[in-house]
Amino acid sequence: MNGETAAVRALEVDGLLNVRDLGGLTTADGRRVRRGRVVRSDNLRGLTDDGAVTLVRNVAPRLVVDLRTAEECAREGRGLASVEHVRYANLPVQPKAALNPEQVAAGLATNLFDDYVLQIRDNGPQLLAALDLLAAEGSLPAVVHCTAGKDRTGVLVALLLDLLGVEREQIVADYAATTDNMPGILARIRSSPFFRGNGLAAAPAWIFGSEPTTKRGFLSWLDREFGGTERWATAEGLPRAAVARLRAELLEPAA
């Protein structure tokens, strides 16, 4: 089955540059991700007042999962902070890309595939906690975001979609869809005093990529190393009941 394209699933929310519904993607066994249940996004801090109204009206999130570091949140702020009935959860996933020679020497990643592998190895507990939180009763609809909505969000979304059984090439295409949105995100990063200070604004070009081969290789690595996402997640402590709840809440028969 062919799921809906990212262009169809994209949401028009003033102040956000890389936001789309996961609903409409399809699984190999003929089911479909429900619309309006999980939305991926760039930093919600960019929301305008009109954008916040649109997001609350059209998505009505009960949960915001923010994968940025505590320092990013403190310096850059967060969106929907004053909206009632929205639970905010900060699960900091530390970036793993090398921004300078010192970080290269320290063993941080010099390509996105290695970055994502390090996310699993070093930030696995936070990613699993995010999946468990999404599975909790009353958590959905939810918005998941980081800064660009590409790497940390992209890893979490790939894990979630793979647990649901979404066809691999649809997961890859959803990741690659960020490419068209990166110019605006990059301009925002380069204008930020915080990101000019930590080096991200002047980072090498590969850090801002979203090539299909990167996500395809990452998913294949999960297969080789662990026997797939579900085996990794449950072996590392995600309850099987949480996996079952995610599937029950997020999947429906395809029309």
Percentage with pLDDT > 70 across the chain? 99
Q: Where are the alpha helices (DSSP H) in 20-111?
A: 49-58, 70-76, 101-105
Q: Computed from CA positions of residues 52, 58, 61, 67, in that sequence, does the dihedral angle turn out positive or negative?
A: negative
Q: Give the pLDDT of residue 83.
A: 80
Distance, in Å, from the CA atom of 46 to the CA atom of 167, rounded to the nearest integer, reads 31
pTM of this prediction? Answer: 0.96
Is residue 255 pLDDT above 90, yes or no? no
Pairing of strands 63-66, 20-21: unpaired
Is residue 224 pLDDT above 90, yes or no? yes
Is residue 72 pLDDT above 70, yes or no? yes
Tokens of 131: 């999946």
Q: Each residue of 83-112: pLDDT tens digit?
A: 878 999 999 999 999 988 889 999 999 999
Nearest residue to 181 (alpha-carbon basis) of 216, 141, 208:
208
